[in-house]
Structure formats: structure tokens, C-alpha cells
Copies of this chain bind each other. A is one copy, B any other.
């Protein structure tokens, strides 16, 4: 894997998204304790993969640079939703994690009450941003609405609900795939498809039949699974220092994972199959004249990442 390629993409994404993330709360309210807690988690060393994928879609499709500020605005919003979900997931009553991205989790620093409220704040503020930009540009309502749905019962929250209810280690593979497609896949879909929705000011009806939108959602589905299966593998083979979060916790929590259901080799084979599907879809885009270089760098990273 070309380590330099993905590092450069991450660096560019960081430079691109950080100023926007710094503006999500107004300066005059920055000493509010809940805002402090939210900002702590928002800047606790995330890899910014979702903002990166938004940039990759913009780049691949050659979207007009005039919409870049709006893509960035939605990217920061999605990162807020992602961050709230991590804060709540890490709570003692949920996954009970002390360490996230190599740093103490929000509730370890600010206490459970403020961490709960900081999660609520990030979610609510993300939605306020989506309404605010839709007020200014009604052509973005569907993109905003779709992002909210991806975060909800038929997306991330629904996946988390299946997860919390699945106490057995031997749920069927299809159930685990459904769980992960919702829990992590839905926000990845939002990141990959949103720039395209914005560029077309797309409606719900158009999005259902538009070929490019359909291809992007398929791409997202395979990227989500490759990402999650690799995550499950790393939980077994990596150590917490490299990973920046607790390892072996799937085992500890008696959670069904792609490794417990398929074995280590089976899971590795499944990652390879997902990577092959990603490459097929990218080849289609390339044949249509789109530049898939950066998405290929991401694909190599997904296949081989060690953290």
C-alpha cells in the first residue's frame, strides 16, 4: 500500500475541514461547559474519513468548485453527527469505553451527564445547520433530509438498536450485515453521496432513479462493509496503542463480529471480496471518464489499514 498517498489525503482533508469545524459553535458561547465537551470530542483526533470521502466524491465527479463551501458545510455537519454517536456509544451504559482515538472519552473528562448532553448538542446543532442551509437554499432540502434519515432509525440509530439488542454471539451473518450497513454504513453513504445530491439540487424522486446516485450508494455499501470487517479484524490482531482504542472488547462483550462468525481467514476473504466489488464500481466510473485515483488510494488503505 502506498502509505504516502493516504497520508496526503488525510492531511488535505484535515486542512480543508478544520476551519469549518472551528466555526460550528459561535465564539461567544465557547465557555459553555457542554460546548467545551462537544468541541473536545470533535477535535479528539478523528481520522476525518467521512469528510475525506465527501472530498473524494467531489473530486471524482469533477463537481464545480463553487459548491465546495457547501460540501464542506455538510461534511462538518456529518462529522458532528458521527461524533455525537461516538460520545453516546462510549458511555458506561452503552459500550463503556475509556479510550477513543488514543484519548480519554468525553465522559471520562467531563462526566456522564455533560457527555450525554454534549452528544445531544452535537446532534441538535447538526440538524440546525441542515435547516439553516435549507432555508437559504431550498434545493438542498432533500440532501439534508437524507442525511437526517441516514442518522436515524433506518440508519445509524437503527443499527445501534439491533446491536444493543443482540446479546447472542451467533446472530446470522445477514443480521450482522444489516446491523453494520445501518450502524456504520449509513453515515458512510451520506458522506459519499451528499456532494452529488448538492451539485444536482436533487429531489427524493430523482435520487431513486439516478444512475450515478445508485452507483455511489453501492460504492458506499461496499466501502462500509470493508471498513467494518477490517475493524473487527483489527480488534483481534492489533493492540490498543496502535489502534488508539480498546482492543479485544468484542470478545469481552461477547459481541458477534465478522471474525466470530467467519473466523479470521474468512473475514479476511470477505474484506477482499468487498475490495473487489469496490474496484469494479470504480472501474465503471473510470470508464465513464471520471478520475478515480484518490478513491483507489482509499481502497488500498481500507484493505490494509492497521489502525
Q: Measuring CB to CB, which residues of chain A are less than 8 angstroms from any residue of chain B?
A: 25, 29, 32-35, 84, 88, 91-94, 111-117, 119-121, 123-125, 127-128, 130-132, 134-135, 138, 141-142, 144-145, 148-149, 151-153, 157-158, 160-162, 164-165, 203-204
Residues of chain B with a CB closer than 8 A to A84's CB: 120
Is the pair B148, A128 in contact by a Cβ cutoff of 8 Å? yes
Q: In the complex the two chains form, is B94's CB within 8 Å of A116's CB?
A: yes
A218 to chain B, nearest CB (A): 24
Tell me if A153 and B29 are in contact (CB < 8 A): yes
Docked-complex contact A94 and B120, CB < 8 angstroms: no
Total identical chains: 2
Q: Which residue of B lies closest to A37 (CB)?
A: B161
Contact between chains at B164 and A148 (CB < 8 Å): no
CA distance A158 to B25 in the complex (A): 12
List, in ascending order, chain B residues with CB within 8 A of A204's CB: 135
Whether the pair B161, A33 counts as a contact (CB closer than 8 A) is yes
Q: Which residues of B contact A121 (CB under 8 A)?
A: 152-153, 157, 161
Contact A116/B88 with A127-B127, A157-B124 known, Cβ cut-off 8 Å:
yes
Q: List 28 A-B contacts (CB under 8 A).
A: A29-B153, A29-B158, A32-B161, A32-B162, A32-B165, A33-B164, A33-B165, A34-B153, A34-B161, A35-B153, A91-B112, A92-B112, A93-B116, A94-B113, A117-B161, A117-B164, A120-B120, A121-B153, A121-B157, A121-B161, A128-B148, A131-B131, A131-B134, A131-B148, A132-B145, A135-B141, A138-B141, A141-B141
Q: Which of B91, B115, B124, B165 contacts A152 (CB 8 A)?
A: B124
Q: Tell me which residues across on chain B come within 8 A of A117, comparing CB atoms.
A: 88, 94, 157, 160-161, 164
Is there an interface contact between A123 and B120, defined as CB atoms closer than 8 Å? yes
The docked-state distance in angstroms from the alpha carbon of A119 to that of B153 is: 12
